[in-house]
A and B are shown apart, each in its own frame.
Chain A
Amino acid sequence: MSHMDSSLSDEDLDEGQSEVKRIRYDSKIYNVSRRFEKHQRPRRTRLASRDSHSFHVKESNLQGLIFDNGAHTIKINYSFEEEPKIIPNCIMKAKSERKRLFIGSQIDECRDCSGLFYLIPSERGYITKWDVQKPIWDFVLSKNVCPVNNYPVIMTQPLFNFKSIQDCIDEIFFEEYEVSSMFRLNPTDLAVLQYHKEIGAKPPCIIVDSGYSFTHVIPYLEGKKYLKGVRRINVGGKLLTNHLKDIISYRQYHVMEETFVINQVKEDTCYVSQDFKSDLKAAELPPSKNHIIRNYVLPDFNNIRRGYIQDRDQKDEIAENCQILRLNNERFTVPEILFHPSDIGIKSIGIAEAVCKSIFSCPLSFQKDLAKNIVCIGGSTKFDGFRDRLFNEVRSMIPASWEVNVYQPSDPITYNWMGGKVLLKDPEFKSKLVTKQEYEECGMSAIQEKFNQWSIIDIEETVQSKPKIEPVSYIDHLKKYDVFGKGIVSEESSENNEKKNENPEESRKCEEEIDVSSKNDGEEKLNLTDDDKFKLP
């Protein structure tokens, strides 16, 4: 990553200045960003700048605030920084400290995190509780954390973000925070940009985004979303934590109120099994032979702030008076829900199946490349063994001659945020930004169109997969021949009969018509059943 940050050369700087003259409205941004370049200059190396130029000939030196608004954590920082700040997107209330709310990362100041009560602004990934979201954003954009400072803001929103939610975001950002310009897009859009930058090419790819509220599988063709191939599985980190809470409460301690602690237990101990059946068998063995069982020391928020897995061989003196949680098959049956939601009765396909369905619902010419470029991002992909399991399952469902490749970035949580940096370097990006002026002049729906439409691709499939087979009535076919030895059916009557068989309703109409027009002719033929037809002279 570092070479991209320090890649701004003097040439870029000059161009930046000339652009200030051309486009007036964001002159402020440029003044500010130039200041930061000066600050960064000593860190530049020759090698780094050469490296980045081989990929992008011309890069914009625009700087901005990248704001990845996840349902669980907000990833935010300026584009000239190395890493984003990860801030919980919730307000918490602690039992121990009454009269105080912990907003976002203020929770670090809380001494006793047992029985935390969460106020979460989003419901199934979409913001619905504005009275919770607003104070969090206030906190995140306050002076001590990440003030907007007139930078353009890149903000993320979930796929198919509802219109009234977008209205509210726009109103808050343009009117309340008075941002000078802003751009809103899906986090996976950024992941694609980052992926393309990392591999130095732009193949079609599939993004598997398994986050807190749900898991999305989104195919990107030519860098844009192909909506017909998108699949959403309503399983995310939240459901997994709640499920783990539920089964531990039933089997060992009552921990229903300890979401915070059990989430850590999940992160520390759970893994995705490579061979589910044999792991389950191994878990049945007595503790001495069991390689799956783990003792987890629960935090008491006195001596131990964060729980940890107890070392089997060493005697643990600190943990003597602590509560110990024994985890056995819970370790892998919980993440297993991602691959088999039906295990807990959710009627939905698992991630691997969704990836395959998604690949096969894309136009034929892209399918091979999609299988080669599967990228997993999001917090729930961080389980050990996730990548390998996904690879193995997808491999088994894809034609053997195709290459399958599953890529997992070193940090799947901040990957989207990194993509924001790439977006800012795109010389065309500046024209996509929506300024406050545009917001005031064009209104919300016009700018939302701009946000939502740019990354959608709709390809009509040219190759028809299979010609439709018309239902054939064999009686129709047989009627032409003298099958039953009752003589050849006369041409006139066979025509009538054929009409009858085409469609039951149509033939009924036909009957009526004939009934009215010619009684003599019609009556005999029309009351016949199929079997009787052949008896006609």
Chain B
Amino acid sequence: MMKQFKSQLRGSNRLKEGDKRRVIDETQRRRRHRKIMELLESDNYQDDPHADLVMSKKVPKFEDNLEQRTTRTKKKERTAEYYQTKFRKNFQQLVDEDRIEADIAGRVSYVDVAAEESNLPPRHFCAVCGFFGHYSCVACGMRYCSIKCMETHMDTRCLKWTA
């Protein structure tokens, strides 16, 4: 009696987990990749350390630590905010605008000179240790090279990846 009970309790780990394991589909994998790419282009990972700082009037601002230029006489000095509001466009807007303009003028634009895809086959690297990774994770498609790395991957990034 006792023995039977034990085996029932233990069951097969692989089968148990198999039900829980979610396989990420192609679109989601692509979204994940895009997130990684965005992270690689980001300026900072952390939040602004001064964000919670309440700026008192004593705090020096940009303009204060610079002496006034003597050349500028009549007009009032424009603040940096003036330019930010006047030329407020993000990068994507600029690219789109330029592309339309270039299409009309028939000139080469920013988008046109982007390098094409390579003819060479892509190489795959283990996401954990960085050596060649010959196997890919069933769930998320990341590469790994050995059982050891697979386990690390499963415990850390697989399905838990958040940018």
Known contacts A120-B43, A176-B72; A329 and B130 CB within 8 A of each other: yes
Q: Which residues in chain B, 59-97, are within 8 Å of chain A measured between CB atoms?
A: 59-60, 62-63, 65-67, 69, 71-72, 75, 77-78, 80-81, 83-84, 86-87, 89-91, 94-95, 97
Binding site for B on A (CB under 8 A): 93-95, 98-101, 103, 115, 117-120, 123-124, 126, 128-135, 138-139, 142-143, 147-148, 159-160, 162-165, 167-168, 171-172, 175-178, 216, 227-228, 230-234, 238-239, 242-243, 245-247, 250-251, 256-257, 259, 280, 283-284, 328-330, 333, 340-350, 353-354, 357
Chain B residues with CB under 8 A of A175:
75
B42 at the interface (CB under 8 A from A): yes
Chain A residues with CB under 8 A of B108:
160, 227-228, 230
Residue from A101, A129, A227 within 8 A of B84 (CB atoms): A129
Q: Does the CB pair B80–A232 fall under 8 Å? A: no
B3 at the interface (CB under 8 A from A): no
Q: How far is the CA of A480 from the CA of B86 in the complex (A)?
A: 72
Known contacts A130-B87, A139-B66, A168-B86; A117 and B114 CB within 8 A of each other: no
Q: Does the CB pair B62–A349 fall under 8 Å? A: no
- In the complex, what's the smallest C-beta–C-beta distance from A213 to chain B, in angstroms? 9
Pick 11 A–B contacts, CB within 8 A, sort by A: A93-B50, A128-B94, A138-B62, A142-B69, A148-B71, A159-B113, A164-B89, A232-B113, A345-B33, A345-B122, A353-B120
Chain B residues with CB under 8 A of A143:
67
Q: How far is the CA of A333 from the CA of B123 in the complex (A)?
A: 12
Q: Does the CB pair B71–A246 fall under 8 Å? A: no
Q: Does the CB pair A162–B90 fall under 8 Å? A: no
B9 at the interface (CB under 8 A from A): no
Per-position 1/0 for B94-129, Cβ under 8 A of A: 110110010000011110011111111011010011
Chain B residues with CB under 8 A of A347:
117-118
B39 at the interface (CB under 8 A from A): yes
Residue from A103, A135, A148, A333 within 8 A of B130 (CB atoms): A333
Chain B residues with CB under 8 A of A328:
130
Known contacts A128-B94, A134-B80, A350-B118; A242 and B41 CB within 8 A of each other: yes
B5 at the interface (CB under 8 A from A): no
Q: Does the CB pair A349–B90 fall under 8 Å? A: no
Residue from A94, A138, A160 within 8 A of B98 (CB atoms): A160
Chain B residues with CB under 8 A of A342:
118, 120, 122-123
Q: Does the CB pair B91–A123 fall under 8 Å? A: yes
- In the complex, what's the smallest C-beta–C-beta distance from B13 to chain A, in angstroms? 26
Q: Does the CB pair B130–A138 fall under 8 Å? A: no
Residue from A101, A128, A346 within 8 A of B62 (CB atoms): A101
Chain B residues with CB under 8 A of A135:
62-63, 80
- In the complex, what's the smallest C-beta–C-beta distance from B155 to chain A, in angstroms? 12
Chain B residues with CB under 8 A of A251:
128-130
Interface size of B by CB at 8 A reads 64
Q: Does the CB pair B123–A230 fall under 8 Å? A: no
Binding site for A on B (CB under 8 A): 33, 36-37, 39-46, 48-50, 53, 59-60, 62-63, 65-67, 69, 71-72, 75, 77-78, 80-81, 83-84, 86-87, 89-91, 94-95, 97-98, 101, 107-110, 113-120, 122-123, 125, 128-132, 156-157
Q: Does the CB pair B42–A242 fall under 8 Å? A: yes
Residue from B49, B59, B120 within 8 A of A95 (CB atoms): B49
Q: How far is the CA of A296 from the CA of B80 in the complex (A)?
A: 41
Known contacts A234-B114, A342-B120; A98 and B50 CB within 8 A of each other: yes
Q: Does the CB pair A246–B39 fall under 8 Å? A: yes
Chain A residues with CB under 8 A of B117:
347-349
Q: Which residue of B lies closest to A125 (CB)?
A: B91
Chain A residues with CB under 8 A of B118:
340-342, 347-350, 353
Known contacts A99-B53, A160-B98, A242-B42; A130 and B113 CB within 8 A of each other: no
Q: How far is the CA of A396 from the CA of B108 in the complex (A)?
A: 30
- In the complex, what's the smallest C-beta–C-beta distance from A241 to chain B, in angstroms? 9
Q: Which residue of B lies closest to A229 (CB)?
A: B113
Closest 3 CB pairs of A and B: A134-B80, A130-B83, A135-B62
Residue from B69, B91, B115, B130 within 8 A of A233 (CB atoms): B115
Q: Does the CB pair B129–A162 fall under 8 Å? A: no
Chain A residues with CB under 8 A of B129:
251, 329
Q: How far is the CA of A176 from the CA of B123 in the complex (A)?
A: 51
Q: Does the CB pair A230–B113 fall under 8 Å? A: yes
Q: Does the CB pair A131–B83 fall under 8 Å? A: yes
